[in-house]
Every structure is written in C-alpha cells, then in structure tokens.
Amino acid sequence: MEDDETRRYLGRGPRGPQSQWERLLRNAGSWSLYGYGVFCVRRPGADDIVASCGVFHSWRGLAAAMDDQPEAGWIVRRDHWGQGLAREVMDTALEWFDATHGPRRVVAMIEQGNVASERLAAALGFAAFATHTDEDGAVLDFYERVPAG
C-alpha cells in the first residue's frame, strides 16, 4: 500500500500507516462479526503480502444499496499486476463465500478509470447498477453479483 500507483483508485482520504491500521481493524471486525473478510495474499514460500482480496462487510454511507452488504474488493501490489493474481484469489474467495454463507448478493465499488478492476468485476460476474460521485469528486461505479434464480 506504500506505492502511489497501487493506491491510485483507493480514494483520496488518509494514506499513511494509521489509515492502514484502521483498514486492518475493519477487516478483523468483518471476520469477527460476520465470518468473512479480506485475505492477505502471499506467494508460496514468501513472507511479504502482495495483495489483499476477498469479501468483507461494509457500511460506507454511500447508498442503501451498498450499505450493510457483503462487498468484494481486491488490491494488488503494482509489481504483481497483470499476472492474474486478483482473478485467481477472487474466484476462490467468492466460491468459498457462496459455499460458506450461501449464494447471496455481493456488491463492489470501482472508481471510473480503473479499467483493470472493471474488467475483473465483469469476469467475476458483477454488473454495474449505479454511479455515485463522492465528496472529493471521484466518480464511483457500483456493481453487484446476484445469485442466479
């Protein structure tokens, strides 16, 4: 998360160690309260974290269709972009989520211009359903993955 390009589409809020600590605590709370959250991703045999991917419980205060929902998210360190890592982890995470919690609606939020994430969302079965402009002027597309049937 230290690299500016890795954080490019993650909002304009605080970016230092404190914000990362708060992100970690939110993720721990999602696991503790809901039984699902984000996975820290490491390459086999390596210690360093190269991605953070999964389904977490969110309440962003952006819209009723996004609040109090399971939300998919993925952040991959820039030196691991383009290797299919997010797709592999998210396929596995969503399969686990469905098997553990039952197939249900999962949302995602992607800032416009993040083409790689837009493509991944589509490949994972997400479809855009709304757009929101945040207080900093960033245009966010809201996506959802709804179970068949």
**Helix ranges (DSSP H) in 8-142:** 17-34, 85-101, 115-123
- State the amino acid at position 111 in one-letter form: E
Residues near 97 by beta carbon (within 8 Å), at least 6 away in sequence? 36, 54, 55, 70, 106
Number of domains in the chain: 1
> Can you give the residue range of the structural domain that contains 71?
17-145
List per-residue pLDDT tens for the chain, 149 residues long: 455 544 444 555 556 677 777 767 888 889 999 999 999 899 889 898 888 899 999 888 887 788 999 999 998 888 888 899 899 999 999 999 999 999 999 999 999 999 999 999 999 999 999 999 888 888 999 999 998 76
* CATH number of domain containing 63: 3.40.630.30
pLDDT recorded at residue 11:
52
Write out the two tokens for 132.
Answer: 């929101």
pTM: 0.85
Q: What's residue 16's pLDDT?
A: 67
73 falls within a domain:
yes
In a domain, residue 109? The reply is: yes
Burial class (CB in 10 A: 0-12, 13-18, 19+), 76: buried
State pLDDT tens for residues 74-115: 988 888 888 998 999 999 999 999 999 999 999 999 999 999
